[in-house]
Structure 1
Amino acid sequence: MKKEFKKVGTHDGKFHADEVMATAILKEIFIIDITRTRDKKTLDGLDIVYDVNGGELDHHGVNKVLREDKIPYSSCGLVWNKFGKDVIAFKDKNLNEEEIDDIFNFIDRGVMEGIDALDNGIWIDKSEVPLMNISSILSGFNPVWYEKSNENENFNRAVEFASSILNNKINFKISVLKAKGKVMRAYESREMPEVVILDTYCPYIEALKEVDKDERILFVIFKTKTNYIMQTVRGKDGEDRKKLPKAWLGKRDQELANVTGVSDSIFCHTGRFIAVAGSLEGIKKLAELAIKEPYEHESIMNKIIKSVRKLFIKK
């Protein structure tokens, strides 16, 4: 597919994440010539105008367009809603309609809705720990008040950064969809009922959730450039279905080999969710040992404490 040329426009002055990301979206499917102004006559002569001048892609009117969860769209959400599926189809012509919808919703929920909410004055980050978000990062490209820099140059740098974010998220979701067949084949052909073995790493979590309805899989093994990794699988409650043995915690090399009896043992994370060995045979032996290890019985008090913590986090 060939990109069309479009004259596009948004407002000048201080820029925000919504029109920056909207511009990044448009750049994916059009060759754009952007004008930043509030002059109505100029804007009326452009092909696509957003976040200014009224119209379908400006969210500043009284009657805002709302999502199903009542979050109002900002300009980036409106632009994504109109052009997002074209962006995805342009990215990979082999995607079917269902896959395009899946990616569209993933990006809409994971990228656009947060920007929309914050731009409309809805604060969505209630964590006690201050977290950076896309909106604050993109807005941070504005010149500081005492700086005599070119505002449009700063805007363009912000757009390039936003393009990286957008492309990374789309590419990741495409990779998840492409991994689905590999994960399902590994699931169907597994040697141990509790273990899936992949010949290389791929994003397996989503596909595994889909196929492993009974939550039988405890560990996933995959090959890296230099060794083999075994990783625990989390259940619907967000907890590891089974942690690696306590005796392995934080141990490396010979110390871990002494504990496990596996000569090429390399490492076990202190969180007991990753173990590493030098060979497929070695990592499979570690998996067998981890499966045989008795389950830990968590105290009722610890379960209550975890449940209370989760409630506070949600609030």
Structure 2
Amino acid sequence: MATEVAAKRMKMDTVQIGTHNGHFHADEALAVYMLRMLPQYSSASLVRTRDSALLDTCHTVVDVGGTYDDTKRRYDHHQREFTNTFPEHKTKLSSAGLVYMHYGKAIIAQHTKLPIEHPDVELLFQKLYDDFIEAIDANDNGISKYNSSKLEEAGIQENFKSGGITLPALVGDLNHEDPLNPDITRATTDSPQAEEDYRFGQASSLMGNAFLRKLHGAATAWLPARSVVKTSFEQRQTQHESGQLLVLPRAGIPWKEHLYNIEQEAGISEEKKILYVIYPEKEEQGSKWRIQAVSKDMASFVNRKSLPEPWCGVRDSELDALLGSDVEDGAVFVHASGFIGGHKTEAGVRAMASKALAG
């Protein structure tokens, strides 16, 4: 159904995507890749130019032309009056954000084989913007993640530089010919534009593959985990009388973001929020179990309630002795920071959780 919706936007004649030539950036590299993920654009040719007459002949134009008009398939964001943002966000869109806003659901529906109206498509649409696209929009529009004046006031300084390893920085590197890398060489020795277009293709693949990995991971791991975490959350009162222990049925479930969202949706007060999560370490029978303290938020290293301080940094028989006779032997460790611990059995880790909750 998603392809049928998208198909109405264009004829199946030869389709050309237009963008600017010269120095290229992460946003248009990604925008072009995302368009080509749709069947209607999969064989589209690419025209890289600033010649307005040539751009006028293109079916779809991104990041150049001074026009944003979805009805005409023009997606530039450089014009003075442009202030558009993704719904309920403050970051101004780049060409990547514009293409994603208009075609993202169709791309997700195509990848997941879900109807475009399916609620899971909407969840993934929001997830991918928050986790990936918004940062590209911000980078291209020169928007910093933090207020630099506030950082300066607080006396916060960087310990090291990390800007050179971001995706936009790596795309920036591809603007320069690398004679040492045979995969990024002059495509045709007598055509500088062909060489530049070749390197843009490398940049588009770099950005697109990163996006595709994010989409695939969100669709195959993050999304299925939500229903598991929600079920476990709804059963929390049966797991411990406090209702503050979450028990996950298997290993490897990405639970954190879902837990915070589910708690917020349920309107859980601070004093009733989940404090510990327990889960098997591996999928195999007889696996050890882990207990993990829930941090205050996704970005925090501060726990809502750390494991008891006397346990921290203690292992094996010494930890068994600290836990006492009401916890079966088999303790493995508790991290020195108190954020995680382990026991050889589910019963043992449940008993550790009960002691921690009571403390």
In structure 2, the partner of 1:304 is: none
Aligned counterpart for 2:57 among listed residues 40, 45, 50: 45
Aligned mates of 1:248, 1:6 — CA distance in 2: 65
Give 1:171 shift: 3.4
Matches within 5 A, 1:1-315: 6-29=15-38, 30-31=41-42, 32-56=44-68, 57-67=75-85, 71-94=91-114, 96-125=117-146, 126=148, 128-129=157-158, 130-132=161-163, 133-143=166-176, 149=186, 150-174=195-219, 175-189=221-235, 190-192=238-240, 193-200=243-250, 201-209=252-260, 210-211=262-263, 213-214=268-269, 215-225=272-282, 226-235=287-296, 239-261=302-324, 262-293=328-359
Cα gap change, 1:111 to 1:236, in 2 (>3 Å): closer
Superposition CA RMSD, Å: 3.0
Give 1:159 shift: 2.0
Deviations 1:120-154 (A, max 9, x none): 23333446324434432332332269986543333
Aligned mates of 2:253, 2:275 — CA distance in 1: 17
Deviations 1:81-118 (A, max 9, x none): 21111111112233654433332233223323332233
Aligned mates of 1:263, 1:23 — CA distance in 2: 58
- Contiguous gaps of at least 5 residues in structure 2: 69-74, 152-156, 187-194
TM-score (norm. length: structure 2): 0.71
Which shifted more, 178-187 or 94-103?
A: 94-103
Aligned mates of 2:231, 2:208 — CA distance in 1: 34
Which shifted more, 5-14 or 234-243?
A: 234-243
TM-score (norm. length: structure 1): 0.79
Is contact 1:16-1:139 (8 Å) kept?
A: yes
In structure 2, the partner of 1:296 is: none
Aligned mates of 2:259, 2:143 — CA distance in 1: 35
- State the one-letter code of the partner of 1:275: G
Aligned mates of 2:202, 2:329 — CA distance in 1: 51
Aligned mates of 2:179, 2:205 — CA distance in 1: 24
Cα gap change, 1:287 to 1:49, in 2 (>3 Å): same
Is contact 2:249-2:279 (8 Å) kept?
A: yes
Aligned mates of 2:30, 2:18 — CA distance in 1: 13
The percent identity for this pair of structures is 28
Is contact 1:176-1:206 (8 Å) kept?
A: no
Paired residue secondary structure (2:46): strand
Aligned residues: 293
Is contact 1:219-1:231 (8 Å) kept?
A: yes
Give 1:36 shift: 2.4
Deviations 1:287-308 (A, max 9, x none): 1222232xxxxxxxxxxxxxxx
Cα gap change, 1:251 to 1:70, in 2 (>3 Å): closer
